[in-house]
Amino acid sequence: MCQAYDGERASIITGENYATIEGFAAARKGLPKSANPHREFGMYDREAWDHGWDCWHHKILPWALERVYHLEGKISEAIEAKKRFELTKEFPAELERFLRD
Q: What is the pLDDT of residues 42-91, one digit of tens each?
A: 788 999 999 999 999 999 999 999 999 999 999 999 999 999 999 999 99
Helices (H), ranges, 1-101: 2-28, 43-57, 63-71, 75-88
pLDDT score of 101: 55
- Of the ranges 30-34, 36-40, 74-78, which one carries the lowest mean pLDDT score? 36-40
More confident: 99 or 86: 86
Domain count, the chain: 1
Closest by CA position to 98, among listed 38, 17, 35, 9: 17
Q: Determine contact, residues 23/49, Cβ cutoff 8 Å.
A: yes
Q: Are 48 and 20 in contact (CB under 8 A)?
A: yes
Mean predicted confidence (pLDDT) in 8-37 = 92
Expressed as residue numbers, the domain containing 29 is: 2-98
Give the global pTM. Answer: 0.87
Q: What is the distance between the alpha carbons of residues 28 and 9, in angstroms, rounded to a whole number? A: 29
